[in-house]
Amino acid sequence: MHFSISKDTLCQSIQIVGHAISSNSPQASLRGILLTCKDNTLTLTGSDADISIQINLEPNEENNLNIYEEGKILIDNKYLNEISKKIDSDIINLEIIDGSLTKISGEKVVYKINGMFANDYPVIDFSKPENEFSVFAYQLTSIIEQTSFATAPKETRPVLTGVNFNLENNVLHCTATDSYRLAKKLMPLNYENNFNVTIPARSLSELKSTLIVDDEKRITVALNDKKAQFISDNIILQTRLLDGGYPDTNRLIPTEFSYVLHIERDYLIKAIDRQMFIKTDNLTINNLKCSEDEIILSNKSQEIGESNESLNGTFEGSPLDISFSGTYLMDALKALRGKDINIKFTGSMKPFILESVDDDTTIQLVLPVRTYN
Amino acid sequence: MHFSISKDTLCQSIQIVGHAISSNSPQASLRGILLTCKDNTLTLTGSDADISIQINLEPNEENNLNIYEEGKILIDNKYLNEISKKIDSDIINLEIIDGSLTKISGEKVVYKINGMFANDYPVIDFSKPENEFSVFAYQLTSIIEQTSFATAPKETRPVLTGVNFNLENNVLHCTATDSYRLAKKLMPLNYENNFNVTIPARSLSELKSTLIVDDEKRITVALNDKKAQFISDNIILQTRLLDGGYPDTNRLIPTEFSYVLHIERDYLIKAIDRQMFIKTDNLTINNLKCSEDEIILSNKSQEIGESNESLNGTFEGSPLDISFSGTYLMDALKALRGKDINIKFTGSMKPFILESVDDDTTIQLVLPVRTYN
């Protein structure tokens, strides 16, 4: 294999496929980027077995790609990354010179790097799944930012570590829950086949950092019951799906409420933030005492002390006393959009929901916490 | 104790004294800031026993300080820091309400924080040592930036973890060495009493982050054989000195040279940086092969591969082949100033020195490494 390419193109491509690579993967081949020259195309592939990213480059004026000889080689992502960032030339020349020994040269610097044999790389099937539609990049961003923080961090129930995408009657329901809170985003989507898949939160996070650069761009989504692909220009991000049925969360979301707190979102974020350092057993538990006369946010810890703050807002309903995780409330508030929100309660030990006044497509639900003060 | 003060003043003061505090100190009282109101002055003190920082605030228009009642209290730095940053008011009110329980209030938020008894705080003697002179802030910055990186990180020889300040005949010799490299900075200083003290590198680093804000400001230095103080306006940073005689390093620095490499500093930094990722047993060992015809910088590792680069520069002397730690060379290059440097050698297994062409007050010395290629 032998090719030359613009430093900028190679550097950017390595950054992107590098997002799929775990630098401490126990499998040496997965710490590498697979470079393949075939049919006048340079393909870069990175993978951690769950997520795989592939970029296909054809020669053009911008990338200055010239393929002199077909072939393939696997090189540690760390080394390619360092070299492509720091080489002393606008054009990088890469050539296999002996087995897997690869010569990479700039203007005066010449590297000879021990590659790995391309045949050691796992075979990854990048064929496009049958269900294909497209969405705007900003729509994916909203879904990811407004739901994925609520997925479960640990794998006690693996399916909860992902965001569920359920298309029913041309409405895409995106849901994440760790069973203590839930985030849900609805999005209209005209597509003939209903589907119900759960995508790992980590894949969505890498999707956001790699494919989503221009909000107004359309991203192709293709999926079946095994995998999902996200495609933008010459980049494919492919992720496995999480196995197992996603729980039916609709019945968890209350629809009738006895109390409503109307408050400014940023103002409440700051008030919670002022009390976050007061922790009990490393958790921040806040308390709200609401009546039509007064709204008091407080937090008390045996060790540290306490904080009390009278909030500006409007409360409707009989007096309510409710405690909850400040961290979860903060996450939910940050995931909403707009200036004003409603927090709707059904009782002091019942889940409550947060909604933006201007946006009924997003629901944040938080479970209260029992306290013994 | 009871006082009120501007949020900005309290916040800045806490940031500064906080530099002396280790948040994970095993001694709870040292995780705190001591607040003392006496003689119409609010004093904040932070310490980790090695470094202590004290700020004295007297009421003025800017700080809006009002002292209503004398007294003292010790409060965890973490809590004071959070509160002073996030409180909802331009004026903070602080009052001991019961034993060590302290009420801190803003506009609507009221904290009641469990303080610690001020009597638990170690007695720190802030009396000023007898040898007193002043230097410009930029002079201290140069000394710290150009020497302290070369101190030893570990305490096998404690005195090497500090920078030695030795005044002789109105020249201050500042020296740091970990016995594999040495950094030396000379500075004229008119002061009648010679001294020879070694200041911990960590203290110098905190000095740089706290007292040095305006290059042109003069900083008062006061020292004896036990401690050193650095004073700027109402801030005192006091550090213990390292015990033990500092080695005589003058005889280590060669004065006659058989070879000189003249090269651009930034250019060499970039060339070394391009090869830094090629490590053997986690160390970067570079090799220079110099003759009057060619200068080759290279680096070779069994595992990763190799790099070769022909450098632009001028070499005087018979051919030389020398290996060294790339990290040490990089540190030395970054600590020099100016565009062009001379690297002066006496032999392939002898220490070599790096000097800026424009500045003869700074010497960087590096020991070569034996290789078996």
B110 vs A88, A101, A308: nearest CB: A308
CB B78 within 8 A of CB B11: no
Q: Answer yes or no: is pLDDT of A26 > 60.
A: yes
**Distance, in angstroms, between A271 CA and closest chain B CA?**
8
pLDDT confidence of residue A372 = 66
pLDDT confidence of residue B284 = 95
The highest-level CATH class for domain B253-366 is alpha beta
**Which residues of chain B are within 8 Å of residue A306 when distances are taken between CB atoms?**
111-112
**Distance, in angstroms, between A338 CA and closest chain B CA?**
22
How buried is residue B220: exposed, middle or buried, by Cβ count under 10 Å (0-12/13-18/19+)?
middle
Say whether A305 and B112 touch across the interface (CB within 8 A): yes
List of residues 6+ apart from A341 with CB closer than 8 A: A262, A263, A264, A265, A268, A333, A354, A355, A356, A357
pLDDT confidence of residue A163 = 98
> Which tokens hold the place of A240?
């496995």
Supply the DSSP string of A333-346, one letter for each residue: HHHS-SSEEEEEES
* Pick among A14, A85, A108, A275 to test the B interface (most B CBs inside 10 A): A108
pLDDT confidence of residue A373 = 54
* Pick among A14, A276, A309 to test the B interface (most B CBs inside 10 A): A309
**Which residues of chain B are within 8 Å of residue A277 when distances are taken between CB atoms?**
78-79, 82-83
pLDDT in tens, A318-367: 999 999 999 999 999 999 999 999 999 999 999 999 999 999 999 999 99
CATH of span B133-250 = 3.10.150.10
Residue A31 DSSP SS3: helix
Say whether A309 and B109 touch across the interface (CB within 8 A): yes
Q: What pTM did the predictor assign? A: 0.92
Within chain B, which residues score under 70 in pLDDT?
Answer: 372-373
**Distance, in angstroms, between A88 CA and closest chain B CA?**
8
Say whether B274 and A109 touch across the interface (CB within 8 A): yes
**Which residues of chain A are within 8 Å of residue B275 when distances are taken between CB atoms?**
109
Residue B254 DSSP SS3: coil
Say whether A109 and B307 touch across the interface (CB within 8 A): yes
Q: Answer yes or no: is pLDDT of A214 > 90.
A: no
* Pick among B74, B76, B84, B108 to test the A interface (most A CBs inside 10 A): B108
Say whether B82 and A271 touch across the interface (CB within 8 A): no
Say whether A111 and B306 touch across the interface (CB within 8 A): yes
Total residue count of chain B as it appears in this document: 373
**Which residues of chain B are within 8 Å of residue A310 when distances are taken between CB atoms?**
108
pLDDT confidence of residue A212 = 84
- CA–CA dist A345, B188 (Å, integer): 73
pLDDT in tens, B245-263: 999 999 999 999 999 999 9
* Pick among A76, A80, A86, A282 to test the B interface (most B CBs inside 10 A): A86
pLDDT confidence of residue A286 = 97
pLDDT confidence of residue A370 = 87
Q: Report in angstroms the alpha-carbon separations of B252 from A112, A237, A288, B352.
A: 38, 58, 69, 10
Question: Residue B247 carries which DSSP code?
Answer: P
> Which tokens hold the place of B358?
């424009």
A87 vs B88, B109, B274: nearest CB: B274
Interval A53-61 mean pLDDT = 98
pLDDT in tens, B170-186: 999 999 999 999 999 99
At position A296, the amino acid (one-letter code) is I
Nearest to A145 by CA among A324, A313, A364: A364
* Nearest C-alpha in A relative to B269: A86
pLDDT confidence of residue A211 = 87
Say whether A304 and B113 touch across the interface (CB within 8 A): yes
Please say whether the structural domain A132-250 has been given the CATH code 3.10.150.10: yes
Torsion angle, alpha carbons of B126, B131, B132, B134, to 10 = -120
Residue A155 pLDDT class (50, 70, 90 cuts): confident
pLDDT confidence of residue B290 = 97
Distance of CA A266 to the CA centre of its chain: 23
B108 vs A82, A83, A310: nearest CB: A310
List of residues 6+ apart from B321 with CB closer than 8 A: B287, B288, B289, B290, B348
Q: What is the ipTM of this complex?
A: 0.90
Say whether A87 and B309 touch across the interface (CB within 8 A): no
How buried is residue A310: exposed, middle or buried, by Cβ count under 10 Å (0-12/13-18/19+)?
middle
Say whether A109 and B303 touch across the interface (CB within 8 A): no
Q: Which residues of B touch A (CB under 8 A)?
A: 76, 78-79, 82-83, 86-88, 101, 108-114, 270-271, 273-277, 303-311
Say whether A79 and B114 touch across the interface (CB within 8 A): no
CB B295 within 8 A of CB B311: yes
Q: Report CA torsion sign: A248, A251, A255, A259.
A: negative
**Which residues of chain B are within 8 Å of residue A309 when distances are taken between CB atoms?**
88, 108-110
**Distance, in angstroms, between A316 CA and closest chain B CA?**
22
Total residue count of chain A as it appears in this document: 373
pLDDT confidence of residue A68 = 98
Say whether B79 and A274 touch across the interface (CB within 8 A): no
Q: Answer yes or no: is pLDDT of A108 > 70.
A: yes
Residue A175 pLDDT class (50, 70, 90 cuts): very high
Identical topology for domains B133-250 and B253-366: no
* Nearest C-alpha in B relative to A278: B79
**Distance, in angstroms, between B304 CA and closest chain A CA?**
6
Q: Which residues of A touch B (CB under 8 A)?
A: 76, 78-79, 82-83, 86-88, 101, 108-114, 270-271, 273-277, 303-311
pLDDT confidence of residue A321 = 97
Say whether A112 and B305 touch across the interface (CB within 8 A): yes
Domain range summary for chain B, segments of one domain joined by + = 2-120, 133-250, 253-366
Distance of CA B170 to the CA centre of its chain: 23
- CA–CA dist A208, A33 (Å, integer): 20
pLDDT confidence of residue B154 = 80
A113 vs B88, B276, B305: nearest CB: B305
Say whether B88 and A114 touch across the interface (CB within 8 A): no
Say whether A305 and B111 touch across the interface (CB within 8 A): yes
CB B277 within 8 A of CB B203: no
* Nearest C-alpha in A relative to B84: A274
- CA–CA dist B300, B284 (Å, integer): 9
- CA–CA dist A196, A194 (Å, integer): 7
**Which residues of chain B are within 8 Å of residue A86 when distances are taken between CB atoms?**
270, 273-274
CATH of span B2-120 = 3.10.150.10
**Distance, in angstroms, between B92 CA and closest chain A CA?**
14
**Distance, in angstroms, between B55 CA and closest chain A CA?**
25
How buried is residue A119: exposed, middle or buried, by Cβ count under 10 Å (0-12/13-18/19+)?
exposed
Q: CB contacts < 8 Å between A and B, how many?
A: 84
Say whether B108 and A309 touch across the interface (CB within 8 A): yes
List of residues 6+ apart from A99 with CB closer than 8 A: A117
Residues of chain A with pLDDT > 70: what percent? 99
At position B349, the amino acid (one-letter code) is M
pLDDT confidence of residue A36 = 98
Say whether A86 and B270 touch across the interface (CB within 8 A): yes
